[in-house]
Amino acid sequence: MTDSQQMTVDSSVHYTNIQDSPFNVAIIGSGNWGTVVAKIIAENTRENPLLFEETTKMWVYEEEFEGEKLSEIINRDHINKKYLPGIKLPENLIAVPDLLEAVQDANIIIFNVPHQHLESIMAQLKGKINPKTRAISCLKGLRVTADSIELLSDLIQDSLGIHCGVLAGANLAQEVAEQRFSETTIAYPLPDDYVPGDVDPTVLYTLFHRPYFHVHVIEDIAGISVAGALKNIIAISVGFVEGLEWGDNAKAAIMRRGLLEMIKFGRKFFPDCKVSSFTEESAGVADLFTTCTGGRNFKLAKTMAQTGKSAHEVEKELLNGQSAQGLITAKEIHTVIKNRGFEEEFPLFETTYQILFHGVKIGILPYMLENKWSITKPNYSS
């Protein structure tokens, strides 16, 4: 464990490595979580003029809301009425509908857009970002294909040629928006071309930490990305158990087994990732806890267990055509595990996959967790 597990940086003290001019910070994305993060950042850029330029730009995908342009509403009323109604934003946060204009002078770019829009945004930015710019991705997780597992932050890093960290944690957006106490984890290893004065853990701590939003900076991007993806499978397993009313012991057992399989998966596919990122970070065990007590994946599975309906049916009825990320992840991770012949080592992930997609009964879970997988391995064909 890290001995001093919470950085304590007092923003009033002198920074030895302070750069000549303050950092300019831009946020790409103004959905629900995007706007909450932008609010936090603008609060901090305003309070730390030695370190940051006060004016903080937030790229807004322009759309109409109640007959007005969303960016104009935000800049006039300082409220994102469409995606974060009722929450006042700092006046130094400026909505900018033009993507390139938003990032033009940025030294630090925060990415916070829906997963499915990331590639198109990368295409628009490609070749137009100074390689010394640093990035933080609030998208976490993995991009899994049959052949490879890639960190989402690597996608940004490789597309734009800029160093990119990750922010993740037990961060239900509305609670953070209302300034209720929360914690988060930022993973940011120093870049190879780091020089004093550059973005470092202290700068990032100062940019994100609030009295109500506590930040811990670590280096392990892979660890928190794996946790961010796999937690959704575990939330499904816990949802099953909740739907069958097996009780708190069983829920705790599933979370524990899920945590262990997460760690095992992380260590197998990203050998440098650290066990403590899973067991001691907000982006690990704490986010697992919040994800397993509510949310879309949990609810889908709970309803499956209660009604006996298939994942597909419940998804259609319950989620209004939206998809539960955990379903996609369960399938992707199954493929990866199966291709490598690792099924026996991940009985929770594999059984969850089978319940979701092959009609296997939930009641088999405890039995499968006894590691008798090899005896009972079914003949499924995908």
Q: How far apart are CA 248 and CA 246, in angstroms?
A: 7
Active-site residue, selected from the candidate residues 39, 57, 231, 302: 231
Q: Of the ranges 14-22, 134-142, 243-251, 330-338, which one interacts with its own copies (CB under 8 A)? A: 243-251
Which token pair is 105? Answer: 């002078």
The counts of H helices and E strands in the chain are 17, 12
- Is 316 a known active-site residue? no
> Rounded to a whole number, what is the distance in angstroms from the first to the last CA of the chain?
40
Pick from 285, 300, 301, 314 the residue near its own copies by CB under 8 A. 285
206 belongs to the binding site for its own copies (CB under 8 A): no
Backbone phi, psi, residue 345, to 5°: -90, -10
Q: Which is nearer to its own copies, 11 or 19 (CB)?
A: 11
Residue 34 marked in a binding site:
yes
Amino acid (1-letter code) at residue 210: R
Closest listed residue to residue 298, CA positions, set 215, 252, 236: 236
Q: Which is nearer to its own copies, 220 or 287 (CB)?
A: 287
Indicate the length of the chain as a whole number. 382
Q: Of the ranges 173-181, 192-200, 300-308, 313-321, which one interacts with its own copies (CB under 8 A)? A: 173-181
Continuous segment of H or E residues that includes residue 290: helix 287-291
Residue 373 marked in a binding site:
no
Backbone phi, psi, residue 364, to 5°: -80, -10
Site for its own copies in 343-382 (CB under 8 A): 365-367, 369-372
Please give the torsion angle defined by the CA atoms of residues 7, 9, 15 and 19, in that order, rounded to the nearest 10 degrees: 70
Per-residue binding letters, 301-340, with its own copies (x by CB under 8 A):
----------------------------------------
* 208 close to 41: Cβ distance less than 8 angstroms: yes
Sole residue written with tokens 């594999």: 350
Q: Of the ranges 51-59, 81-89, 281-289, 352-360, which one interacts with its own copies (CB under 8 A)? A: 281-289
Q: Which is nearer to its own copies, 194 or 367 (CB)?
A: 367
Q: Of the ranges 5-13, 102-110, 296-304, 320-328, which one interacts with its own copies (CB under 8 A)? A: 5-13
Pick from 164, 187, 233, 259 the residue near its own copies by CB under 8 A. 259
Which token pair is 241? Answer: 């158990």
Per-residue binding letters, 209-228, with its own copies (x by CB under 8 A):
--xx-x--------------
Residue 29 marked in a binding site:
yes
Which token pair is 69? Answer: 């342009």
Q: Give the count of beta carbons closer than 10 Å to the beta carbon of residue 308.
A: 12
Supply the residues annotated as catalytic: 231
Binding site for its own copies (CB under 8 A): 1, 3-6, 8, 169-172, 175-176, 180-183, 211-212, 214, 241, 246-253, 255-257, 259-260, 263-264, 267, 275, 279-282, 285-287, 289-290, 293-294, 365-367, 369-372
